[in-house]
Amino acid sequence: MTVVRLLVIVSFIILIVACGFKLRGDHRLPAGYDVLHVEAMQNHAPLQRALVQRLDIYNIKLVERRDNANLASSILISLAPEKLERRLLSVFSTGQVAEYELILGVPYTVRFGANDVMDAYFEVVRDYQDDPDQVLAKSKELELVLSEMRREAADRIIRRLASQSSAVY
Number of domains forming the structure of the chain: 1
Question: Domain for residue 16, yes or no?
Answer: no
- Element spanning 5, H or E: helix 2-18
Question: Domain for residue 9, yes or no?
Answer: no
- Residue 31 CA to residue 137 CA, distance in Å, equals 46
Contacts of 96 (CB under 8 A, 6+ apart): 130, 132
> In terms of pLDDT, which residue wins out, 123 or 22?
123
Tell me how far the alpha carbon of residue 152 is from its chain's centroid: 5
Question: Domain for residue 118, yes or no?
Answer: yes
Question: Domain for residue 168, yes or no?
Answer: no
Tell me the CATH number at 41.
3.30.160.150
> In terms of pLDDT, which residue wins out, 116 or 82?
82
Tens-digit pLDDT profile for residues 115-146: 778 899 999 999 988 877 777 777 888 899 99
Q: 71 pLDDT band (50/70/90 cuts)?
A: low
The predicted model gives 11-33 an average pLDDT of: 71
Q: 67 pLDDT band (50/70/90 cuts)?
A: low
Q: How far is CA 69 from CA 29, 35, 39, 74, in A?
A: 18, 12, 18, 10
- From the list 102, 27, 33, the residue with the least C-alpha distance to 58 is 27
Question: Domain for residue 2, yes or no?
Answer: no
Question: Domain for residue 141, yes or no?
Answer: yes
Domain span at 123: 29-162
Residue 124: how many other CB atoms lie within 10 Å? 20
